[in-house]
A and B are shown apart, each in its own frame.
Chain A
Amino acid sequence: MTAGPDGPDADREAGPEDQPPADAQVPVLALRDAAKSFGAVHAVIDGTIELYAGEAHALVGENGAGKSTMVKILAGVHQPDSGELLIDGQPATLHGPAGAQQAGIAVIYQEPTLFPDLSVAENIFMGRQPLAAGRRIDRRKMNAEAAGLFGRLGVRLDPGRISRGLSIADQQIVEIAKALSLDARVIVMDEPTAALSLAEVARLFDVVRTLRAAGAALLFISHRLDEVFEICQRVTVMRDGRHVLTSELAGLTADDLVRAMVGRQIDERPTGQRAAPGELILRVEHLTREGVFTDISLDVRAGEIVALAGLVGSGRSEVARAVFGIDRYDAGRVVMRGRELRRASPTGAMAAGIGFVPEDRRQQGLVMDMSVQQNVALASLGRLRQGGLVRAAAERAFAADWAVRLNLKYGRLIDPVYQLSGGNQQKVVLAKWLGRQPALLIVDEPTRGIDIATKAEVHRLLARLAGEGVAILMISSELPEVLHVGDRILVMREGRLTAGFGHDEATEEKVMAAATGQLQGQAS
């Protein structure tokens, strides 16, 4: 059975065809009361999950809930300390990733790992390429088989092309094809939509439906509850390593899930009045970079938070990077407090008072191997100098001060920053920039991959900063965040600004419509 990629009706509710097939009584793969500890850390205490053929099952929970450990157990990377793993109802042990592969379990990670120099077909069949006489590789057969797999998935991809340059969405498709070629009966997808555009998400969901129809059992890990409701039939919630609930999704609301994940109601609305915005800090005029963004003009004033919303791929991060000077632009200008900034000069931007918290915390925001204090001090070394020299004591004092202000949780300031949790790592990045007392703070996806409690802390921090007169430009793909935190909301789509809303007039529907090009009177 194949399904074509011609516009799924994504807003239908779960229908009869979404019930697990009646004959799938025995779960294909089940993990019961699994426990896994690493030293003193109990990652999973009683993890339980059951995957049935033909069904997409969601696994949700905050960071630290134990989801990734569960995935690694299912992938054969870790052996559970206790509990049992059942394949088709029979107890089994997975001997490493190879064992999991043999048992028919495939895992699609968030960042697909392909061989960029090799062809798509070769990526799928590496190590198992079909052979001709004399154990030579039969390329034609390999390409034909790959094309067949893509046909089964209902996507079009050229098996002979080199995989370098493929979009993340296409790379995922290749990974799925690989899973299919291994006759995977269980396919685990770890945050697959994080880096996809709306169209690519739609295509992925079509593939998921195809896989379900073909009888595979799917495990879908995601932070995006709207997607969970759209594509999955059942959900398991974990919290602090424990199993909280497993249920059909029909009849549940997002709030129910959040409550189960967090154990309490989190009120995300930041308290406090919004003061009237002050002087003009940032003015971007007709900024253009060919093929990336066109004619972007926006203002940010002191004390206001401008949220830049849009779909992944609409060019927002590129605009931010161009303003900060990491990327170049072809036309237009950036004016900070009345003075035009030189292009492509991060040092110039920093000197003018801009701070930039980038999208990718681990690769761009932090030097993972360096200590907490060194990371915090990294953008302020010039100011910490005494007589031309930088002393560790000065770094330490500086970092300690900011650790208190941001309520940072860590072991010692000299510990490498990779030991911190995601939320605390983000606080280190924030401390780094706040230490420069910027006039304008650009934050790109400030709470991505962060647990809900820290998320709220970060939002309160942003509101407080705005109250102190900092101008903030926030890029976010999470609508709730955009709507709650932003004083003004700008929407970008495919490189252009398509709409602007004040805080009170903005609604999710309006923002989404502008982001996808549905607004009346807009050329699409």
Chain B
Amino acid sequence: MERDLTARLSATARASLRWETGLLLLVVAILIFGASTSSQFLTSGNFFNTGVTSGEIAIMALPMTLIIISGEIDLSVASILGMSSALLGYLWARHWPMLAIFVMVALLGLVAGLVNGLLVTRVGLPSLAVTIGTLALYRGVALILLGPNTISNFPASYTNIGVLPLPGTQIPYNVAIFVVLAVIFGIVLHFTATGRSIYAMGASPEAALFAGIRVKRVKTMLYMTSGLVCALAGVLWTFRLATAVQNNGLGLELDVVAIVLLGGVSIFGGKGTLAGVVLAVIAFAALQNALLLTNFNQEATGIVIGALLLVSVFAPNAAALWRTGLPRWARGRPRRTAPTT
């Protein structure tokens, strides 16, 4: 006796499906909008450019997804990006070998994440306040490192990642890195014990503790991962723009949070899928690009992002009200005694 596919899914899984379907429709709508307003939209050259410019934000959205599902937030991501970029420029100007610089930048990202993680888990501070503080602190470090200077004499072999695709393909390096990371994060989140524990600690921190989940350790690791990934994003950003300057990535953290929320991740934690965030990344990138091609003032795309963000939080409430607001315990008392699958 085969059952309908959706009947096998839990309530939350069904809700996610609805969200992702909505996102898919949104992406399609944006693609149609873009194609109809500009003949260049659906060209491979344009895909390439879009991928390149949105790459760093997309990459940073991945660890942010896990952090928000676990019940926390990280507003320092763009500052870690900027700080890594600044360190990169600083060391390069002092003639360090590039490989050593990569190691240092990676370490910096890990340490920055570790500081966040320790303040949140060991000292017990709210992550919103902590990462507002580290946002300023790390940006400040970037300022101290570079001052008003710009370093832009990076070798072409590195800065070419912003110009040339992966050899033999049309795919920009940013996108390739994003895809690989998305698969990894997706597997971790949805198919590992750690992923389950992330959902549990977001939904009920105490119960997770009592189930033997090492909440503090996992959260600290999430912040360190975020730091590392943002450091990577900082390196990519610097090479793409071929410039290290202290305000690299200024203000990006809000873009990243917006994308994750748009992807169906609940700000309260415990809910969301990585697939949703991937779709949101595509929607965001496509939208930015479509607006660019129509000569819409780039900086004003914020209006659209903001509107999308509002829709993403009001839609679930509206949907819940649409269905008759049955109290939880009235939604079907279990009657069967035999297990059903």
Contact indicator A391/B326 (Cβ below 8 Å): no
What is the interface residue range for chain A against chain B? Answer: 35 or more
| Distance in Å: Cβ of B201 to nearest Cβ of chain A | 9
CA distance A38 to B329 in the complex (A): 9
**What B residues does A374 contact at CB under 8 A?**
196
Residues of A within 8 A of B196 (CB): 374, 377-378, 381, 390
B141 close to A (CB within 8 Å): no
Interface residues of B in 158-200 (CB under 8 A from A): 187, 191-193, 195-197, 199-200
Cβ-defined partner of B341 (8 Å) among A40, A360, A385, A400:
A400
B334 close to A419 (CB less than 8 A): yes
Residue B155 is within 8 A (CB to CB) of chain A in the complex = no
Instruction: Among B199, B206, B212, find the residue whose CB has the most chain A CB atoms closer than 10 A.
Output: B212
A382, B340: Cβ atoms under 8 Å? no
Docked-complex contact A411 and B203, CB < 8 angstroms: no
**Inter-subunit contact B336/A326 (CB<8 Å):** no
Cα separation A371 to B13 with both chains bound (whole Å)? 11
Binding-face segment, A13-21, A176-184, A256-264, A362-370: A362-370
Q: Given the interface contacts A369-B270, A390-B193, does A41 sit within 8 Å of B212 by beta carbon? A: no
Q: A38-B330, A39-B330, A419-B329 are in contact. Are A367 and B193 (CB under 8 A)?
A: no
Tell me whether A370 and B191 are in contact (CB under 8 A). no
Q: Counting chain A CB atoms within 10 Å of each CB, which of B191, B193, B327 scores highest?
A: B193
Partner of A365, one of B207, B212, B214: B207
Instruction: Given A41-B333, A350-B212, A356-B210, verify A416-B10 contact (CB < 8 Å).
Output: yes
Q: How far is the CB of B173 from chain A (nearest CB, A)?
A: 28
Complex CA distance for A415 and B10, rounded to whole angstroms: 6
Bound Cα distance from A390 to B208, whole angstroms = 17
- Most chain-B CB neighbours within 10 Å: which of A358, A366, A369, A432? A369
B residues 1-22 touching A (CB-CB < 8 Å): 8-13
B332: Cβ under 8 A from any A Cβ: yes
Contact assessment for A379 and B212 in the assembled complex, using a CB-CB cutoff below 8 Å: yes
Q: How far in angstroms is the closest Cβ of chain A from B5?
A: 13
Expressed in whole angstroms, the Cα–Cα distance for A369 and B11 within the complex equals 10
Q: List chain A residues, Cβ under 8 A from B203.
A: 367-370
With the chains together, A350 CA to B210 CA distance in Å? 11
Contact A413 B339 (CB under 8 A): yes
B192 and A388 form a contact (CB under 8 A): yes
State in angstroms the CA–CA spacing of A358 and B210 once bound together: 8
Bound CA–CA A369/B331 (angstroms): 14
Chain B residue numbers with a CB within 8 Å of A421 are 333-334
* Contact of B210 with A364 in the complex, beta carbons under 8 Å: yes
B209 within 8 A of A: yes
Contacts of B340 in A (CB 8 A): 412-413
B323 located at the interface, meaning its Cβ lies under 8 Å from any Cβ of chain A in the complex: no
A388 to B211, CA, bound (A): 20
- A386: min CB distance to chain B, Å: 10
| Cβ-neighbour of A381 out of B197, B328, B329, B331 (below 8 A) | B197
Q: Contacts A369-B203, A407-B337, A409-B337; is A390 near B192 (CB within 8 Å)?
A: yes
Q: What is the chain A residue whose CB lies nearest that of B340?
A: A412
Q: How far is the CB of A249 from chain B (nearest CB, A)?
A: 31
Determine if B193 and A385 form an interchain contact, defined as CB atoms under 8 angstroms apart: yes
Q: Which residues of A contact B150 (CB under 8 A)?
A: none
Set of chain A residues within 8 Å of B11, measured between Cβ atoms? 414-416
Q: Is B122 interfacial (CB-CB < 8 Å)?
A: no
Q: Does A403 contact B (CB under 8 A)?
A: yes
Interface residues of B in 298-337 (CB under 8 A from A): 326-337
Minimum CB–CB distance from B96 to chain A (whole Å) comes to 37
Query: What 0/1 readout, one digit per residue, does chain A (328-360) give for beta carbons within 8 Å of chain B?
Result: 000000000000000000110110000010101
Chain A min CB distance to B88 (Å): 34
Interface check A1, CB cutoff 8 A? no
Residues of B within 8 A of A40 (CB): 330, 333
Write the nearest CB–CB distance from B324 to chain A, whole angstroms. 9
Q: Are B334 and A367 in contact (CB under 8 A)?
A: no
Contact code string A400-412 (vs B, CB < 8 Å = 1, else 0): 1001100111111
The residue that B207 contacts in the complex, of A367, A377, A403, with Cβ under 8 A, is A367
| CB of A418 closer than 8 Å to a CB of B | yes
7 smallest beta-carbon distances between A and B, as pairs = A381-B193, A414-B10, A38-B330, A411-B334, A410-B334, A367-B204, A389-B191
Beyond A346-B209, A365-B207, 12 additional pairs, beta carbon < 8 A: A38-B329, A41-B329, A326-B210, A360-B206, A363-B204, A367-B207, A370-B203, A385-B193, A409-B335, A411-B333, A414-B10, A416-B12
A-B contact pairs, 27 of them (CB 8 A): A38-B326, A38-B329, A40-B333, A41-B329, A346-B212, A367-B204, A368-B204, A369-B271, A370-B199, A370-B204, A374-B196, A377-B196, A378-B196, A381-B193, A390-B195, A400-B341, A404-B338, A407-B337, A408-B339, A411-B336, A413-B341, A414-B10, A415-B334, A418-B328, A418-B329, A419-B328, A432-B211
